[in-house]
Structure 1
Amino acid sequence: MSNTSIVTTADALSAALNALSPATFSLYSDDATLVAIAKQSSAGHCHSASPHPLGIELPATDLAVVDADIALPAEELTELLARLRDLLARQVLVIAPTQAQTTFNHAGLIGLGFQRWTSPGAEQPERRWYRFDIRDYKSTPDWLNARHWANPELWDKYRW
């Protein structure tokens, strides 16, 4: 039996912020404990379900942390995650919901491009965490390089 203890979500958030050390970050959560941790940092912005986060101008940020238990319908939470992932954040962390949901289960988050993630110092979190970072989302295939683009070896053989 392992001696590792379950790490609270608040402790896991603190560990994630320490590990990633973003210059700016945004937290989307209704959890008062998580909001208190975010407010301790001068780099953090906090957003809850009220006012509606999709109805306001959201800031661009280095890291966005989204608590999937936020009081938003599944479709709007999916839209928020997509907007953060595609436009507003360099990295996005999602704290998986405490309740079983069909939208934000493991397969649903993988389908949105997220990868299972464990923060250094929080190896046994009470909730699952998922991460999206465009820098390591997809490895560059070996064929995708300048050598293969215009087929320069065929320039003198064929006329297009």
Structure 2
Amino acid sequence: MMTSIAASAIRTPQEKLAAILDSHQPRRLLTVSLNPVPVAEHWCDDHDCELIRIQEQNPFDALDHIDRVDMAIVADQLEYMSQRDGESLIGLLRNLHTDSLVAVYQPHLAPEKLRWPSNGFLALGCREEGHFAHDQRELLLYSYDLDSYNFKRAWNNPRFWANPENWGKYWW
């Protein structure tokens, strides 16, 4: 059984992805990747987690047949899609299929015209989890979690509301 990895000991993308899986403990995990994601497969084997794989160039049709999952991992996929299609994929996963996802992106694998800008994932509400570089290779890890992407604002409470007695009663 895999053990939790301390944040300071993480040196590889695989360790970081395993740590993210450990922190979320999904029961149903979806991978959208042209190739297998060994970390996800091993983690699911060790933790009695159902693994659902989509390994298609165009994953949108396959997603029509997938119910909600606890977490999704997109790896080895976005490099071969336009940014618009990649944004659609992440948005579809985030809005319909899961509250938590991880995107693994290798910019140097993508042809120049398909490369995402450095803030492309941040614009989708993702958080950078790691930047790994070795020789000429580079790998970026981004995550999205509905429970933590939008921080609590100190001013957003009845104390600062124009009519505190109406707090939480009306939505417009």
Q: Is the TM-score greater than 0.5?
A: yes
When normalised by structure 2's length, the TM-score is 0.66
Superposed displacement of residue 30, structure 1: 1.5
Structure 2 residues without counterparts, runs of 5 or longer: 1-8, 166-172
Answer with 108-117 or 64-73: which moved more: 64-73
Q: CA RMSD in A?
A: 3.2
Task: State the match for 1:140 in structure 2.
Answer: 152
SS at match of 2:102: strand
Task: State the match for 2:93 in structure 1.
Answer: 84
Q: Identical aligned pairs, as a percentage?
A: 20
Question: Structure 1 pair 33/132, CA: closer, same or farther in 2 (3 Å)?
Answer: closer
> 1:1-160 maps to which residues of 2 (within 5 A)?
6-7=11-12, 9-34=13-38, 36-37=41-42, 40=45, 42-49=49-56, 52-55=58-61, 56-69=64-77, 72-74=80-82, 75-99=84-108, 103-118=115-130, 127-149=139-161, 151=163
Q: Larger Cα Rg: Structure 1 or Structure 2? A: 1
User: Equivalents in 1 of 2:104, 2:164: separation in Å?
Assistant: 49
Superposed displacement of residue 151, structure 1: 1.6
Structure 1 residues without counterparts, runs of 5 or longer: 154-160
Question: Structure 1 pair 140/37, CA: closer, same or farther in 2 (3 Å)?
Answer: same
When normalised by structure 1's length, the TM-score is 0.70
SS at match of 1:135: coil
User: Equivalents in 1 of 2:21, 2:36: separation in Å?
Assistant: 17
Q: Which has the higher contact order (CA 8 A, sep 6+)?
A: 1
**Aligned partner letter, 2:67:** P
